[in-house]
Amino acid sequence: MTPLRKKMIKAMELRNLSKNTQRYYLSAVRGVARYYQQSPDTLSQEMIEDYLLYLKKGKGNTPGTCATVVAGLRFFYNHVADRQIPFDYRVRKKTTKLPTVLTQEEIWNLINAANNLKHRLILMTTYSAGLRASEVAALKPEHIDSKRMLIKVVNGKGGTERYTILSVKLLEELRDYYKSCHPHTYLFPSSYHHRKNHTLTYASVRSIYEKARKKAGITQGTGIHTLRHSFATHLLEAGYDIRRIQVLMGHRRLSTTMIYLHVSRKTLSQIPSPLDLFDPPRARKEDTTDDPNHETTKTQVRGSRYSPKPYQRLSKRLSSVVGSTPNRIQLAELPHR
């Protein structure tokens, strides 16, 4: 580990940045150093801006990824490097994309496609409780409350804690897993010898999901966060209140949870298309009433607020005076009013 990397880690620890944020910031600085093959504290403002344009246009990174890199580089040059480099880069407004949701059949096939028992339970726990990858990796045996059928989530996003539901099916399989594997520190510890009694990395959890997804023949839903999206959407389609789903998901704002209203099949399928709201044969029959020669029957008028137009009243009065046979009448024949 270089002295510069140690200095940056120390600066992030002093500011209580989360482990994920530290990993992203270190990756941003490491990326620009590898791009130029030189130490990041020797780069110029123009070199940094060219690198950011390369990420945007050359690699096609999303606005969110570019924003993370910018934040990491700014932290490095403001708090770690001996000189500050005030580079100018404004992040474009992030586009809102709807989450990908798998069907319940696809979820079940994905869980059964796991290679071993631990991988199967990692996927099952992530979906059944709506957990993030970092949250399922940090689970400990004491976090499973079988009496109240709850799972305690410690150190979630933003350092918050919450409770989520414990599935009956999951509890049965967790008991078999505990008898065979005997986990001590973490419920799903790392299998590597040098990381014994440590948590799984995000890359490991993602790899477990991707291998199972490809083995199950599922072409959509890249990223293990798809299981969390599917958890919320399936509960919403089952008729559960969106406020309760917000609590289970650990969202601070209800608007974050309401995004699943846009992908719920039950919510959208209940709205018919305007094309299905009318019957073409019936519509043609109703259109014939607009014909000028169409006569409105007394049955149609009775019970409605039908009021004859002035020229219709005049026509009826003329008919009573001169009859219906003459085609023309003289003005003198009209009654005086």
Catalytic residue IDs: 132, 157, 225, 228, 251, 260
HEC string of the chain?
Answer: CCHHHHHHHHHHHHCCCCHHHHHHHHHHHHHHHHHHCCCHHHCCHHHHHHHHHHHHHHCCCCHHHHHHHHHHHHHHHHHCCCCCCCCCCCCCCCCCCCCCCCCHHHHHHHHHCCCCHHHHHHHHHHHHHCCCHHHHHCCCHHHEECCCCEEEECCCHHHCCEEEECCHHHHHHHHHHHHHHCCCCCCCECCCHHHCCCECCHHHHHHHHHHHHHHCCCCCCCCCHHHHHHHHHHHHHCCCCHHHHHHHHCCCCHHHHHHHHHCCHHHHHCCCCHHHHCCHHHHHHHHHHHCCCCCCCHHHHCCCCCCCCHHHHHHHHHHHHHCCCCCCCCHHHCCCC
